[in-house]
Amino acid sequence: MHDIHLYTLLFLIATGFLASFIDAVVGGGGLISIPALLFVGLPPSTAIATNKLASSMGSLTSTISFIRSGKVNFRLVSKLFPITLIGALFGAYIVKHVSSEILKPLVLTLLITVAIYTILKKEWGKDSKYRGMTKTKAVLFALVIFLIGFYDGFFGAGTGAFLLFSFLMIGFDFVQSAGNAKVLNFASNLAALFMFLYLGIVNFSYGIPMGIAMILGAIIGSNFAIKKGVSYVRVLFILVTLFLIGKNIFDYIK
Protein backbone atom coordinates (compact mmCIF):
# COMPACT_ATOMS: atom_id res chain seq x y z
CA MET A 1 0.00 0.00 0.00
CA HIS A 2 1.44 3.33 -1.01
CA ASP A 3 0.76 6.72 0.58
CA ILE A 4 -2.44 8.38 -0.55
CA HIS A 5 -2.65 12.18 -0.92
CA LEU A 6 -5.08 13.91 1.49
CA TYR A 7 -7.11 15.57 -1.30
CA THR A 8 -7.34 12.26 -3.16
CA LEU A 9 -8.53 10.60 0.05
CA LEU A 10 -11.20 13.27 0.68
CA PHE A 11 -12.35 13.08 -2.95
CA LEU A 12 -12.71 9.27 -2.77
CA ILE A 13 -14.58 9.49 0.55
CA ALA A 14 -17.04 12.12 -0.82
CA THR A 15 -17.70 10.32 -4.12
CA GLY A 16 -17.87 6.93 -2.36
CA PHE A 17 -20.49 8.22 0.09
CA LEU A 18 -22.65 9.75 -2.68
CA ALA A 19 -22.34 6.66 -4.92
CA SER A 20 -23.29 4.34 -2.09
CA PHE A 21 -26.24 6.48 -0.94
CA ILE A 22 -27.81 6.11 -4.42
CA ASP A 23 -26.63 2.52 -4.88
CA ALA A 24 -28.18 1.43 -1.56
CA VAL A 25 -31.62 2.21 -2.94
CA VAL A 26 -31.69 1.57 -6.69
CA GLY A 27 -28.17 0.63 -7.79
CA GLY A 28 -26.19 2.67 -10.32
CA GLY A 29 -23.59 3.94 -7.85
CA GLY A 30 -20.83 2.83 -10.20
CA LEU A 31 -21.82 5.78 -12.42
CA ILE A 32 -20.16 7.98 -9.77
CA SER A 33 -17.49 5.77 -8.18
CA ILE A 34 -15.84 4.31 -11.32
CA PRO A 35 -15.26 7.73 -12.98
CA ALA A 36 -13.94 8.98 -9.60
CA LEU A 37 -11.37 6.14 -9.47
CA LEU A 38 -10.38 6.79 -13.10
CA PHE A 39 -10.05 10.51 -12.27
CA VAL A 40 -7.47 9.80 -9.52
CA GLY A 41 -5.34 7.95 -12.08
CA LEU A 42 -6.19 4.25 -11.86
CA PRO A 43 -6.16 2.28 -15.13
CA PRO A 44 -9.68 1.11 -16.23
CA SER A 45 -9.36 -2.56 -15.16
CA THR A 46 -7.95 -1.56 -11.73
CA ALA A 47 -10.67 1.11 -11.31
CA ILE A 48 -13.41 -1.48 -11.98
CA ALA A 49 -11.78 -4.03 -9.65
CA THR A 50 -11.20 -1.46 -6.87
CA ASN A 51 -14.79 -0.26 -7.23
CA LYS A 52 -15.98 -3.84 -6.70
CA LEU A 53 -14.08 -3.99 -3.37
CA ALA A 54 -15.61 -0.70 -2.17
CA SER A 55 -19.11 -1.40 -3.51
CA SER A 56 -19.13 -4.89 -1.95
CA MET A 57 -18.58 -3.23 1.44
CA GLY A 58 -21.45 -0.83 0.71
CA SER A 59 -23.85 -3.42 -0.67
CA LEU A 60 -23.28 -5.77 2.30
CA THR A 61 -24.21 -2.88 4.63
CA SER A 62 -27.40 -1.92 2.77
CA THR A 63 -28.32 -5.62 2.48
CA ILE A 64 -28.15 -5.92 6.29
CA SER A 65 -30.26 -2.72 6.70
CA PHE A 66 -32.99 -4.01 4.36
CA ILE A 67 -33.00 -7.47 6.00
CA ARG A 68 -33.28 -5.97 9.51
CA SER A 69 -36.21 -3.78 8.43
CA GLY A 70 -38.08 -6.85 7.10
CA LYS A 71 -38.06 -5.55 3.52
CA VAL A 72 -36.45 -8.71 2.06
CA ASN A 73 -38.34 -11.87 1.08
CA PHE A 74 -35.74 -14.22 2.51
CA ARG A 75 -37.42 -17.42 1.36
CA LEU A 76 -37.22 -16.37 -2.28
CA VAL A 77 -33.91 -14.48 -2.19
CA SER A 78 -31.96 -17.25 -0.38
CA LYS A 79 -32.73 -19.59 -3.32
CA LEU A 80 -31.70 -16.96 -5.88
CA PHE A 81 -28.47 -15.91 -4.11
CA PRO A 82 -26.33 -18.87 -5.33
CA ILE A 83 -27.85 -18.57 -8.84
CA THR A 84 -26.73 -14.91 -9.04
CA LEU A 85 -23.30 -15.78 -7.63
CA ILE A 86 -22.68 -18.53 -10.22
CA GLY A 87 -24.00 -16.30 -13.04
CA ALA A 88 -21.63 -13.46 -12.07
CA LEU A 89 -18.60 -15.78 -11.77
CA PHE A 90 -19.38 -17.17 -15.20
CA GLY A 91 -19.78 -13.64 -16.62
CA ALA A 92 -16.51 -12.43 -15.08
CA TYR A 93 -14.72 -15.45 -16.56
CA ILE A 94 -16.23 -14.98 -20.05
CA VAL A 95 -15.31 -11.26 -20.18
CA LYS A 96 -11.64 -12.33 -20.40
CA HIS A 97 -12.40 -14.09 -23.71
CA VAL A 98 -15.18 -11.97 -25.27
CA SER A 99 -15.50 -8.15 -25.54
CA SER A 100 -18.32 -6.74 -23.41
CA GLU A 101 -18.90 -4.10 -26.14
CA ILE A 102 -21.25 -6.51 -27.93
CA LEU A 103 -23.85 -5.99 -25.17
CA LYS A 104 -24.03 -2.17 -25.41
CA PRO A 105 -26.91 -1.88 -27.97
CA LEU A 106 -28.98 -4.49 -26.10
CA VAL A 107 -28.40 -2.83 -22.70
CA LEU A 108 -29.43 0.57 -24.07
CA THR A 109 -32.65 -0.88 -25.52
CA LEU A 110 -33.49 -2.64 -22.24
CA LEU A 111 -32.83 0.48 -20.13
CA ILE A 112 -35.06 2.62 -22.36
CA THR A 113 -37.83 -0.03 -22.08
CA VAL A 114 -37.46 -0.13 -18.27
CA ALA A 115 -37.65 3.69 -18.02
CA ILE A 116 -40.70 4.06 -20.30
CA TYR A 117 -42.57 1.21 -18.59
CA THR A 118 -41.92 2.63 -15.09
CA ILE A 119 -42.83 6.22 -16.05
CA LEU A 120 -46.11 5.18 -17.75
CA LYS A 121 -47.27 2.73 -15.05
CA LYS A 122 -47.75 5.27 -12.25
CA GLU A 123 -49.46 2.90 -9.78
CA TRP A 124 -46.95 0.12 -10.41
CA GLY A 125 -44.97 -0.99 -7.36
CA LYS A 126 -47.10 1.07 -4.96
CA ASP A 127 -48.38 -1.98 -3.08
CA SER A 128 -46.94 -5.47 -2.81
CA LYS A 129 -49.02 -8.02 -4.73
CA TYR A 130 -46.52 -10.90 -4.64
CA ARG A 131 -48.20 -14.16 -3.59
CA GLY A 132 -45.68 -16.72 -4.82
CA MET A 133 -45.07 -18.17 -8.29
CA THR A 134 -46.04 -21.23 -10.30
CA LYS A 135 -43.27 -23.75 -11.06
CA THR A 136 -42.89 -22.54 -14.67
CA LYS A 137 -42.79 -18.87 -13.61
CA ALA A 138 -40.24 -19.69 -10.88
CA VAL A 139 -37.93 -21.46 -13.38
CA LEU A 140 -38.22 -18.54 -15.84
CA PHE A 141 -37.55 -16.02 -13.05
CA ALA A 142 -34.49 -18.01 -11.87
CA LEU A 143 -33.19 -17.94 -15.46
CA VAL A 144 -33.68 -14.15 -15.64
CA ILE A 145 -31.80 -13.73 -12.34
CA PHE A 146 -28.97 -15.98 -13.58
CA LEU A 147 -28.69 -13.85 -16.75
CA ILE A 148 -28.60 -10.61 -14.71
CA GLY A 149 -25.88 -12.13 -12.50
CA PHE A 150 -23.96 -13.12 -15.63
CA TYR A 151 -24.46 -9.60 -17.00
CA ASP A 152 -23.04 -8.05 -13.79
CA GLY A 153 -19.90 -10.16 -14.02
CA PHE A 154 -19.62 -9.51 -17.75
CA PHE A 155 -20.53 -5.82 -18.10
CA GLY A 156 -22.26 -4.48 -14.98
CA ALA A 157 -23.77 -1.04 -15.67
CA GLY A 158 -27.41 -1.00 -14.59
CA THR A 159 -27.48 -4.34 -12.75
CA GLY A 160 -29.32 -2.82 -9.76
CA ALA A 161 -31.98 -1.35 -12.06
CA PHE A 162 -32.52 -4.67 -13.89
CA LEU A 163 -32.79 -6.60 -10.60
CA LEU A 164 -35.22 -4.10 -9.08
CA PHE A 165 -37.32 -4.14 -12.27
CA SER A 166 -37.45 -7.97 -12.19
CA PHE A 167 -38.89 -7.99 -8.65
CA LEU A 168 -41.44 -5.32 -9.61
CA MET A 169 -42.52 -7.59 -12.50
CA ILE A 170 -43.48 -10.40 -10.14
CA GLY A 171 -45.50 -8.13 -7.83
CA PHE A 172 -43.26 -6.65 -5.11
CA ASP A 173 -43.55 -2.96 -4.21
CA PHE A 174 -40.63 -0.58 -4.84
CA VAL A 175 -39.07 -0.78 -1.36
CA GLN A 176 -39.28 -4.60 -1.17
CA SER A 177 -37.96 -4.85 -4.74
CA ALA A 178 -35.04 -2.60 -3.73
CA GLY A 179 -34.33 -4.83 -0.69
CA ASN A 180 -34.47 -8.08 -2.67
CA ALA A 181 -32.37 -6.58 -5.49
CA LYS A 182 -29.74 -5.36 -3.03
CA VAL A 183 -29.18 -8.87 -1.59
CA LEU A 184 -28.67 -10.34 -5.07
CA ASN A 185 -26.52 -7.40 -6.16
CA PHE A 186 -24.28 -8.19 -3.19
CA ALA A 187 -23.98 -11.80 -4.47
CA SER A 188 -22.88 -10.68 -7.95
CA ASN A 189 -20.51 -8.05 -6.48
CA LEU A 190 -18.91 -10.73 -4.32
CA ALA A 191 -18.41 -13.10 -7.25
CA ALA A 192 -16.76 -10.41 -9.39
CA LEU A 193 -14.61 -9.31 -6.42
CA PHE A 194 -13.31 -12.89 -5.95
CA MET A 195 -12.33 -12.95 -9.62
CA PHE A 196 -10.54 -9.56 -9.39
CA LEU A 197 -8.71 -10.55 -6.18
CA TYR A 198 -7.58 -13.74 -7.91
CA LEU A 199 -6.29 -11.64 -10.84
CA GLY A 200 -4.52 -9.33 -8.35
CA ILE A 201 -5.80 -6.05 -9.80
CA VAL A 202 -7.49 -4.49 -6.72
CA ASN A 203 -5.95 -1.27 -5.33
CA PHE A 204 -6.48 -1.56 -1.55
CA SER A 205 -5.09 1.94 -0.77
CA TYR A 206 -7.96 3.51 -2.70
CA GLY A 207 -10.58 0.77 -2.29
CA ILE A 208 -10.62 0.54 1.52
CA PRO A 209 -11.13 4.28 2.30
CA MET A 210 -13.77 4.49 -0.43
CA GLY A 211 -15.39 1.32 0.94
CA ILE A 212 -15.59 2.76 4.48
CA ALA A 213 -17.32 5.86 3.05
CA MET A 214 -19.64 3.52 1.14
CA ILE A 215 -20.60 1.73 4.37
CA LEU A 216 -21.79 5.07 5.80
CA GLY A 217 -23.58 6.01 2.55
CA ALA A 218 -25.29 2.61 2.49
CA ILE A 219 -26.56 2.93 6.08
CA ILE A 220 -28.02 6.40 5.47
CA GLY A 221 -29.30 5.61 1.94
CA SER A 222 -31.08 2.36 2.82
CA ASN A 223 -32.64 3.79 6.01
CA PHE A 224 -33.79 6.83 4.01
CA ALA A 225 -35.48 4.53 1.46
CA ILE A 226 -37.15 2.44 4.17
CA LYS A 227 -38.50 5.56 5.95
CA LYS A 228 -39.46 7.58 2.84
CA GLY A 229 -41.09 4.60 1.17
CA VAL A 230 -42.26 3.67 -2.30
CA SER A 231 -42.67 7.07 -4.00
CA TYR A 232 -39.11 8.17 -3.10
CA VAL A 233 -37.62 4.91 -4.43
CA ARG A 234 -39.69 5.16 -7.64
CA VAL A 235 -38.44 8.70 -8.42
CA LEU A 236 -34.80 7.78 -7.70
CA PHE A 237 -35.16 4.62 -9.79
CA ILE A 238 -36.42 6.61 -12.81
CA LEU A 239 -33.65 9.25 -12.42
CA VAL A 240 -30.85 6.66 -12.19
CA THR A 241 -32.26 4.70 -15.15
CA LEU A 242 -32.34 7.91 -17.24
CA PHE A 243 -28.74 8.66 -16.21
CA LEU A 244 -27.71 5.15 -17.26
CA ILE A 245 -29.43 5.65 -20.64
CA GLY A 246 -27.57 8.96 -21.08
CA LYS A 247 -24.23 7.37 -20.18
CA ASN A 248 -24.79 4.46 -22.57
CA ILE A 249 -25.72 6.81 -25.43
CA PHE A 250 -22.63 8.93 -24.69
CA ASP A 251 -20.36 5.85 -24.65
CA TYR A 252 -21.98 4.53 -27.81
CA ILE A 253 -21.49 7.80 -29.75
CA LYS A 254 -17.90 8.08 -28.48
- What is the reported pLDDT for 1? 47
- What is the reported pLDDT for 186? 94
Looking at the chain, the whole-number percentage of residues with pLDDT higher than 90 is 67
Is residue 109 over pLDDT 60?
A: yes
Tell me the per-residue pLDDT of 34-49, one tens digit each, with 9 for 90 and over. Answer: 999 999 999 888 898 8
Confidence of residue 220 (pLDDT cuts 50, 70, 90): very high
Residues 91-120, mean pLDDT to the nearest whole number:
84
Residues 142-159, mean pLDDT to the nearest whole number:
89
- What is the reported pLDDT for 3? 62
Is residue 196 over pLDDT 70?
A: yes
Q: Where are the domains of the chain?
A: 6-253
How far apart are the C-alpha atoms of 165 and 32, rounded to whole Å?
A: 21
State the pTM of this model. Answer: 0.89
Looking at the chain, the whole-number percentage of residues with pLDDT higher than 70 is 98
Q: Label each residue of the chain as H, E or C.
A: CCCCCHHHHHHHHHHHHHHHHHHHHHCCCHHHHHHHHHHCCCCHHHHHHHHHHHHHHHHHHHHHHHHHCCCCCHHHHHHHHHHHHHHHHHHHHHCCCCCHHHHHHHHHHHHHHHHHHHHHCCCCCCCCCCCCCCHHHHHHHHHHHHHHHHHHHHCCCCHHHHHHHHHHHCCCCHHHHHHHHHHHHHHHHHHHHHHHHHHCCCCHHHHHHHHHHHHHHHHHHHHHHHHHCHHHHHHHHHHHHHHHHHHHHHHHHC
Residues 75-83, mean pLDDT to the nearest whole number:
96
Tell me the per-residue pLDDT of 2-28, one tens digit each, with 9 for 90 and over. Answer: 567 899 999 999 999 999 999 998 888
Q: 177 or 99, which is more confident?
A: 177
Confidence of residue 82 (pLDDT cuts 50, 70, 90): very high
Is residue 232 over pLDDT 50?
A: yes
Is residue 241 over pLDDT 70?
A: yes
